[in-house]
Structure 1
Amino acid sequence: MAATFHDLKDASVFITGGGNGIGAALTDGFLAQGARVAFVGRSDARAFVDEMATKHGNRPLFIPCDITDTAALQEAIAQAASAHGPLRALVNNAANDLRHDASNVTVQDWDDLQAINLKAYFFACQKAAEVMAPQGAIINFSSIAHMLGAARLSVYATANAGISGMTRSLAREWGPRGIRVNAIAPGWVFTEKQENLWATPESKAGFLEKQCLRQFMKPADMVGPVLFLASQASAMMTGQTMVVDAGVVGAG
């Protein structure tokens, strides 16, 4: 671990999509801090749960759930709070960056992707705020896609922009209750899904040229920033979208 956030020990943490990709790295990272982690996902994560229990001596709670089922998602959050205590942190991580030519997007495409990438985020925030401990933190994953105007990602980028706006609004509304709400906008993080579906040697090399730091980003690179935002180390930080992209956006 690059840093230890002592206040996260025994903290109740809920992560969407916490069994694979960036979410799995986050689950691993919070468990390493001694947090009590619950996560949801559609895929069977029992083997991952066993792996984490062996590694950390701290078994995460896996709740099978499709986050587009709002009632099931909110019930999962309530179940996590019942099992581990009032939430100290919610991490809205699950997303679908399916590519489309904008001219071919159907109403169903739009509704399906907004349900995953924006609607689920809002209603997870809503329930988390209801069961959150004092000085709790919400961390929403956005993306630099909406900052770059990424082609073929118009539906996803629209949701990303919405997440940033929602984050600022909820930070204002819930700040008096001591709840901090921030977002993270990653660059291109090379998960197994990205490698299998979208990444080619040419696209990877081209994106690397845009980065100030010439290393491919991995899921583990998201762990430190999320732990920071969940911890009281960022106690006076709210309403922010923190870019973690190896220098693509900030350096032009």
Structure 2
Amino acid sequence: MTDDAVYPSLKGRPVLVTGGGTGIGAAMVERFCAQGCRVAFLDIAEEPSRALVARLGGNGSAPLFIPCDLRDVAALQAAVAHAAADVGPIRVLVNNAASDDRHRWEDVTPAYWDERIAVNLRHQFFAAQAAAPMMKAAGGGSIVNLGSISWVVGQGGMVAYSAAKAAVQGLTRSLARDLGPFGIRVNCLMPGAVMTERQLRLWITPDDQRRILDQQCLKRLLEPADIARMALFLAADDSAMCSSQTFVVDGGWV
């Protein structure tokens, strides 16, 4: 944390992070708090989220945690309003929440497909739709949509997830065009293979780590902090003329 850049424009800025309780999202929440932002985050996982609030509260910068199942659009809209009422009208929205559960293409049903789209894509639009009027009223803002390199590298075993993440780029570029006249920037942040606790517990073996390093130009495994630092830059005024772009943080894989 002591090596992170400091962005004066972020101090006091209201920030909302979806899926902020664990992994990449938790790293973002922690770093936005360290910048002096007024931070709220949404997550379905209550235990780790409350533990994060307790830990950061010890540093005098506790974020607001709002339990929310982002598949429920009405609940999501209410949660965005709740966040704004507490931390102030949202100026930075980080659409981080996702679930990359593996699945065989043969087993995908229409119901499962729709659920995967709801978890990985649909909420990004509706969160942006709820936050954008606040940003418009404030004269601008930043929306960061989390994508994935999975579809670029042709990773199999999770076709619905990869399809949703590919669509994030189209969503980003379209929203950037529509919201740009109001000073609202919309960008896609595309992580590589990040060593979160969940990935290491469920998917990434030591053999996988060696394979990932072989693919990357940079021979260090990605950590959640690497993605969070790019999110800070895209949220800050330092990236004031960056919009409708995809920023890849993958150690040079794609």
Q: TM-score, normalised by structure 2?
A: 0.95
| Aligned partner (choices 53, 58, 66) of residue 54 of structure 1 | 58
Q: Which residue does 1:127 correspond to in 2?
A: 130
* Counterpart Cα distance in 2 of 1:190 and 1:108: 30
5+ residue gaps in structure 1? Answer: none
In 2: Cα distance, 1:187 partner to 1:62 partner: 27
Equivalent in 26, 29, 36 of residue 34 of structure 1: 36
Q: For the residues of structure 2 that align with 1:106 and 1:202, how far apart are their CA atoms?
A: 32
Mapping 1:205-216, distance limit 5 Å: 205-216=210-221
Match of 2:157 in 1: 152
Q: Deviations over 1:2-54 (max 9, x none)?
A: 21000100000000011111111000000000000000111122221011111
* Contact 1:145 1:153 (8 Å CA) reproduced: no
Distance 1:82 1:88 in 2: 13
Cα shift at 1:151: 1.0
Q: Which runs of 5+ in 2 are unaligned?
A: none
Q: Distance in 2 between matches of 1:206 and 1:109?
A: 30
- Equivalent of 2:182, from 167, 177, 180? 177
Contact 2:147 2:165 in 1 (8 A): yes
Q: Distance in 2 between matches of 1:213 and 1:153?
A: 26
Q: 1:162 is matched with which residue?
A: 167
Q: Which residue of 2 aligns with 1:22?
A: 24
Please state how far the C-alpha of 1:196 moved relative to its aligned partner.
0.7
1:105 shift after superposition: 1.4
8 Å contact kept, 1:15–1:39: yes
- Superposition RMSD in Å: 0.9
CA distance in 2, matches of 1:141, 1:13: 15
Is 1:196 equivalent to 2:240 in the alignment? no
Aligned residues between the structures: 248
Whether contact under 8 Å (2:139, 2:183) holds in the other structure is yes
Structure 2 equivalent of residue 64 of structure 1:
67
CA–CA distance in 1 between the matches of 2:36 and 2:4? 15
- Secondary structure of the 1:195 match is helix
Matched to 1:236, the amino acid is M
- Aligned runs of 1:83-162 on 2, under 5 Å? 83-132=86-135, 133-162=138-167
Asked if the contact 1:22–1:191 (Cα under 8 Å) also holds between the matched residues in 2, the reply is yes
Query: Which secondary structure does the structure 1 equivalent of 2:97 belong to?
Result: coil
- Please tell me the residue identity of whatever aligns with 1:16: T
**Distance in 2 between residues matched to 1:73 and 1:242, nearest whole Å:** 26
1:70-93 deviation digits (Å, cap 9, x = unpaired): 111111111111112111100000
**C-alpha contact (below 8 Å) 2:91/2:134 kept by paired residues:** no
User: Cα offset for 1:101?
Assistant: 2.0
Separation (CA, whole Å) in 1 of partners of 2:160 and 2:241: 32
The one-letter amino acid paired with 2:44 is R
User: How far apart in 2 are the matches of 1:36 and 1:2?
Assistant: 18
Amino acid at match of 1:10: G
Q: What is the SS of the residue equivalent to 1:145?
A: coil
Distance 2:109 2:101 in 1: 13
Runs of 4+ residues over 6 Å off in structure 1? none
Cα separation, 1, equivalents of 2:240 and 2:163:
29
What per-residue deviation string (whole Å, max 9, x for no partner) do you get for residues 122-167 of structure 1? Answer: 1111101022232200000000112112111211111111110000
Q: Which moved more, 1:2-11 or 1:105-114?
A: 105-114
Equivalent residue of 2:193, what SS? coil
Q: Percent identity?
A: 49
